[in-house]
Structure 1
Amino acid sequence: MSTPPSASSAPPADRRTLIADTAIGLVAAAGLRGLTHRAVDAAAGLPAGSTSYYFRTRTALIGACYQRLAELDLADVDDGSPSGAALPGLPGAAPDREAAAAALAGLLYRWLTVGRARQLARFELSLEAARNPELEADFHRAGRGARSRAAGIVAALGSQRPQEAAELLVAWTEGLLYDRLAGALARSRPAPDLAELTAVARRMLAAALADPA
């Protein structure tokens, strides 16, 4: 068995996180064509061969990106909005729709501004799972976390069918992010506005929580 590169003193768990974060950054900047083991080593400042030691194949490296993206997105959800509002279903959060709309708008604002590159990488990497059956399991596993968290949120807000409502809320959130980041009018839209996003989030929650016809 080969030995891991030893130029860095970082433990394996930290090295894996560094590699995944660097890979995500490369995809955000250059698309999947920029994602190679050698490019990750260089961008992360790691000895040659480090990335291939921890993730032997490109498929394994992309799978690590899915897992890391899911971790970061769920951490944002758990942190609440920039205004301090927390989503219902999380510790210390009250089941209040207006507070939920403010928190969801804060998340959208974060992902459209400081988290923009990460979300673009996530969209780029998601298309690879649609083309490569070997990646489907990793991609679906990463996506289940967001849907589970969304189900808890809408259940706390009184949804009688939380799984169905969660699927709608996640789909609308994804659609809004894609439209604002990569849609046909993305470059000509004004900068994200928190008040406008709060109004949008309020409508999304109301629709997701409405009794089905």
Structure 2
Amino acid sequence: MSLPERRDLISDAAISTVASAGLRGLTHRAVDTAAGLPAGSTSYYFRTRSALISACYLRLAELTVADVDRWEAEHGDPGPDLDRDAVAEALAALLHHWLTVGRDRQLARFELSLEATRRPELRADLEAAGLAARSRAAGLLAALGAPRPAEAADLLVAWTDGLLYDRLAGAPAAGRAVPDVAELAPVVRRMLAAVLSP
């Protein structure tokens, strides 16, 4: 296994550990166990807990960009002929993915984001991780005709985070089924209409 592959394996195991056990459960030993690696492997690559948390931020951002790359590969790069309804359907599918297959990643991201508000030394990595998502959202919204794409992207990301948090960790989340793509699509259409309005 190459060095980058080993670092990704450890980062993925750390994200899963945060999702299942919270930050209190994030130890080098716990990540070694989750990754199926010999004791001491995680501390070899990430000497401190802060370094391990930063690796989680960066890996989460990388995985989110990979999700968007897959979406673009399936639906084509943003262009002037983009159909808003088709984009809404595709974004609904992406949200459904994050609410199901990507659930643990989102839970870990929320937990890690809160940690960064208490530890300024982690804030820079969190902010760097968030810029990629906003940049991609701004490109998509510009292609859809947003008059102020960066501002619209901020709203889109905030709305997306709010929906994900509400459905995964909000008060009614435990007793509510995950919405399917058909349920999410009209919600996404309303959100797009709002962020694209002049």
Q: Which of the five TM-score ranges fits, normalised by the shorter chain?
A: over 0.9
Counterpart in 2 of 1:204? 191
Q: How many pairs does the alignment contain?
A: 198
Larger relative helix fraction: 2
Give the structure-2-normalised TM-score: 0.95
Identical aligned residues as a percent: 68
Corresponding residue of 2:97: 110
Q: Structure 1 counterpart of 2:19, which letter?
A: A
- Following superposition of structure 1 onto structure 2, how do residues 121-140 of structure 1 map, counting pairs within 5 Å? 121-140=108-127
Shift >2 Å, 4+ stretches = 84-90
| 1:78 and 2:46 matched | no
- Match for residue 13 of structure 1 among 4, 7, 31: 4
Q: Say if 2:60 is the partner of 1:69.
A: yes
Extract unaligned runs of 5+ from structure 1.
1-9
Partner Cα distance (1:128, 1:174) in 2: 16
CA distance in 2, matches of 1:105, 1:31: 28
Distance in 2, matches of 1:191 and 1:89, equals 28
Which residue, out of 148, 160, 167, partners 1:161?
148
- Give CA deviations for 1:69-122 in whole Å, capped at 9, x if unaligned: 0111111112128xx8537638xx942111110111001110111111111111
Q: In the aligned structure 2, how far is the partner of 1:89 from the partner of 1:142?
A: 22
Question: What amino acid maps onto 2:164 in structure 1?
Answer: L
CA RMSD for the aligned pairs?
1.7
* Structure 2: runs of 5+ lacking an equivalent: none
| 1:167–1:88 distance in 2 versus 1, CA, 3 Å | farther
TM-score normalized with structure 1 length: 0.89
Report which structure shows greater RCO (CA 8 Å, sep ≥6).
Answer: 2
Q: Which has the larger radius of gyration?
A: 1
